[in-house]
């Protein structure tokens, strides 16, 4: 017999295992009757910073049955999610997958599970080599435009906090999490309220996921950029592949899943030129705000900050400028993390954030971004992309290399240039600049309004807090239009998926989109 018990509230100051057993006993489950105990979710209630609590949802497997009617907190466990059974529509066919971010990898895995042969093309390097290339870039400032923080096996999410929390609901989320754990991720992602993997562990997970797909018949081609496509009678005919930047060959294939990521500007332009329908999409631009981790921990945890049961603190900040119906918000918060250079084009520079699994760095950072749309940047199909590019190239010109501009937040609010050097997690060139003169005025104006609004919190806005920018690649600036089954509305055989196509916003939602479109377009439900 398996039962669920939800909302067990336990102070962080108490021994968690002991208190859980006490709470179970209050609800009719004694220690001797517990065969197995499984966490379903654990969250933190820190609304009262001097009385922080963990909240648990548990599944308990019992040695012998008990009467559930006596205990209102108990309910019969529903067990594992039952998936609708499906079979492949085109069995054993080759299907191309372009890109190895979470959407591409999970699409390839699902194709292999159905007996297809996923042929995976990635413009960058496999994750082991990519890691060496990005480390070398930090030292030498020599950028590989095809293998960097944005491009390469694992996609842009490889160099992030590895957050898995998502706002979507899907039957596939458990599938994604379980695959991650099977490939080496921490088991606690299955129950942690805000699960994260960390960039160090994520690299190992990605490699193991690749090897699993290969063991199921999948093929991988790295350093293989899809330079062009050939279309015949409105349907994909073949891919034109440039291998290692030199050799060009044609790969005959009539079905391709495009999981290109939000930074593949050249691929967007190529697809559009070949008739793939797209439209502008809202996105956001801003900068990174960096605090000492101890200050964010104190801001969130108060006197409990030193409690060993607590991890590095996270936060979500949001401000709604009602006069402009525009949102300013934190994005991709990296507790105990680093700010990194996220350049992917020669002569253009930008930043992003990442964290390791331990989240024990000296600093915590987050993007603070302003929502924008075509009313701001223009209604041409690549107007948003052009704005991103202009800001990234402006930053490169100001710094004189692949670096970042910086300003103390108080100086930004007072229109003063920061005269002193700052201590930061950012490892490349930093250049003091008045950010008020960097962004378009509507971005600067809204950043200032948000900082003013948040300034009553003297730990979040203070002389110890710095801004580093720009952050321009929050999400795709365009959406590649697809029908209900996931196929391009204009070119048959092309299936745009994930964040780069405009249908996801993070690791989990991108992975889910990859699985879902394969289930929809390449399989049919067995009645």
Question: Which pLDDT tens digit goes with each residue over 203-222?
Answer: 999 999 999 999 999 999 99
The gap from C-alpha 354 to its chain's centroid, in whole angstroms, comes to: 10
Q: How far apart are CA 299 and CA 314, in angstroms?
A: 10
Are 145 and 345 a contacting pair, CB within 8 Å?
yes
Q: How far apart are CA 277 and CA 250, in angstroms?
A: 23
pLDDT in tens, 395-418: 999 999 999 999 999 999 999 999
Are 224 and 241 a contacting pair, CB within 8 Å?
yes
Is the pLDDT confidence value at 284 over 70?
A: yes
DSSP at 445: H
What confidence score (pLDDT) does residue 79 get?
A: 66
Closest CA to 110 of 498, 482, 523: 523
Q: How confident is the model at residue 85 (pLDDT cuts 50, 70, 90)?
A: confident
What confidence score (pLDDT) does residue 169 get?
A: 82
What confidence score (pLDDT) does residue 71 get?
A: 80
CA distances 133 to 148, 152, 201, Å, are: 7, 10, 18
Q: How confident is the model at residue 81 (pLDDT cuts 50, 70, 90)?
A: low
Are 224 and 242 a contacting pair, CB within 8 Å?
yes
pLDDT in tens, 107-130: 999 999 999 999 999 999 999 999
What confidence score (pLDDT) does residue 280 get?
A: 94
* Average pLDDT of the chain, as a whole number: 95
pTM of the complete model: 0.94
Are 53 and 12 a contacting pair, CB within 8 Å?
yes
Q: How confident is the model at residue 82 (pLDDT cuts 50, 70, 90)?
A: low
Q: What's the whole-number mean pLDDT along residues 172-192?
A: 95
Q: Residues 264, 270, 271, CA angle at the centre, nearest 5°? A: 90
pLDDT in tens, 5-22: 999 999 999 999 999 999
Q: Residues 361, 368, 463, CA angle at the centre, nearest 5°? A: 65
According to DSSP, the residues that pair with 119 across neighbouring strands are 96, 219
What confidence score (pLDDT) does residue 50 get?
A: 82
Q: What's the whole-number mean pLDDT along residues 244-254?
A: 96
DSSP at 42: E
Q: How far apart are CA 55 and CA 132, in angstroms?
A: 41
What domains lie within the chain, and their CATH numbers?
Answer: 2-76 (3.30.70.2700), 92-279+476-525 (3.50.50.60), 282-471 (no CATH)
Closest CA to 195 of 357, 316, 46, 78: 357
What confidence score (pLDDT) does residue 246 get?
A: 92
Q: What's the whole-number mean pLDDT along residues 303-326?
A: 92
Q: How confident is the model at residue 138 (pLDDT cuts 50, 70, 90)?
A: very high
Bond preceding residue 470 cis, omega within 30 of 0: yes
Burial class (CB in 10 A: 0-12, 13-18, 19+), 484: exposed
pLDDT in tens, 420-465: 999 999 999 999 999 999 999 999 999 999 999 999 999 999 999 9
Is the pLDDT confidence value at 183 over 90?
A: yes
pLDDT in tens, 316-357: 999 998 888 899 999 999 999 999 999 999 999 999 999 999
What confidence score (pLDDT) does residue 147 get?
A: 97
pLDDT in tens, 346-387: 999 999 999 999 999 999 999 999 999 999 999 999 999 999
Using DSSP, state whether 330 is helix, strand or coil.
strand
Q: What's the whole-number mean pLDDT along residues 178-207?
A: 95
Cα within 13 Å of Cα(250), Cβ side: 8
The two most distant CA atoms of the chain are separated, in Å, by 72
């Amino acid at each position: 017999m398996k039962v669920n018990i939800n909302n067990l509230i336990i102070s962080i100051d108490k021994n968690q295992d002991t208190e859980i057993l006490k709470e179970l006993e209050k609800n009719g489950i004694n220690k001797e009757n517990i065969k197995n105990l499984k966490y379903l979710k654990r969250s933190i209630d820190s609304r009262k910073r001097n009385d922080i609590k963990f909240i648990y949802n548990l599944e308990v497997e019992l040695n012998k049955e008990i009467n559930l009617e006596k205990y209102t907190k108990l309910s019969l466990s529903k067990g594992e999610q039952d998936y609708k059974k499906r079979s492949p529509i085109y069995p054993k066919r080759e299907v191309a997958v372009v890109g190895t971010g979470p959407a591409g990898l999970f699409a390839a895995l699902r194709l292999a599970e159905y007996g297809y042969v996923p042929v995976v093309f990635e413009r960058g390097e496999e994750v082991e080599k990519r890691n060496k290339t990005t480390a070398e870039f930090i030292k030498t400032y020599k950028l590989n435009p095809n293998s960097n923080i944005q491009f390469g096996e694992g996609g842009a999410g490889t160099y992030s906090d590895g957050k898995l929390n998502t706002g979507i609901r899907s039957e596939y989320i458990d599938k994604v999490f379980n695959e991650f754990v099977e490939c080496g991720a921490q088991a606690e992602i299955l129950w942690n309220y805000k699960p994260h993997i960390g960039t160090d562990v994520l690299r190992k997970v990605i490699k193991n996921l690749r090897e699993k797909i290969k063991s199921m018949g999948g093929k991988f081609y790295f350093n293989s950029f899809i330079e062009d496509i050939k279309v015949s009678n409105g349907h994909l005919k073949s891919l034109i592949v440039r291998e290692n930047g030199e050799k060009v060959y044609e790969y005959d294939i009539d079905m391709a899943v495009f999981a290109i990521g939000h930074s593949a500007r050249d691929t967007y332009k190529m697809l559009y030129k070949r008739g793939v329908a797209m439209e502008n999409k809202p996105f956001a631009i801003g900068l990174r705000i960096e605090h000492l981790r101890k200050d964010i921990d104190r801001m969130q945890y108060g006197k409990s900050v030193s409690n060993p049961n607590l991890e590095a603190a996270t936060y979500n900040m949001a401000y709604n400028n009602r006069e402009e119906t525009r949102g300013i918000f934190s994005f991709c918060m990296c507790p105990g993390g680093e700010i990194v250079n996220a350049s992917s084009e020669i002569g253009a520079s930008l930043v992003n954030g990442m964290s390791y699994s331990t989240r024990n760095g000296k600093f915590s950072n987050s993007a603070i971004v302003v929502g924008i749309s075509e009313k701001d940047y223009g209604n041409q199909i690549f107007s948003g992309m052009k704005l991103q590019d202009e800001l990234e190239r402006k930053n490169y010109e100001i710094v004189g290399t692949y670096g970042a501009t910086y300003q103390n937040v108080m100086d930004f609010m007072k229109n003063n240039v920061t005269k002193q050097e700052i201590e930061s997690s950012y490892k490349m060139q930093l250049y003091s600049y008045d950010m008020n003169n960097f962004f378009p005025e509507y971005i600067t104006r809204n950043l200032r309004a948000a900082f003013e609004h948040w300034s009553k919190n003297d730990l979040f806005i203070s002389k110890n807090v710095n801004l580093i920018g720009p952050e321009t690649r929050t999400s795709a600036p365009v959406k590649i239009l697809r029908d209900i089954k996931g196929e391009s509305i204009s070119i048959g055989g092309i299936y745009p998926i994930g964040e780069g196509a405009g249908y996801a916003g993070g690791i989990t939602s991108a992975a889910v989109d990859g699985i879902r479109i394969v289930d929809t377009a390449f399989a049919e439900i067995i009645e």
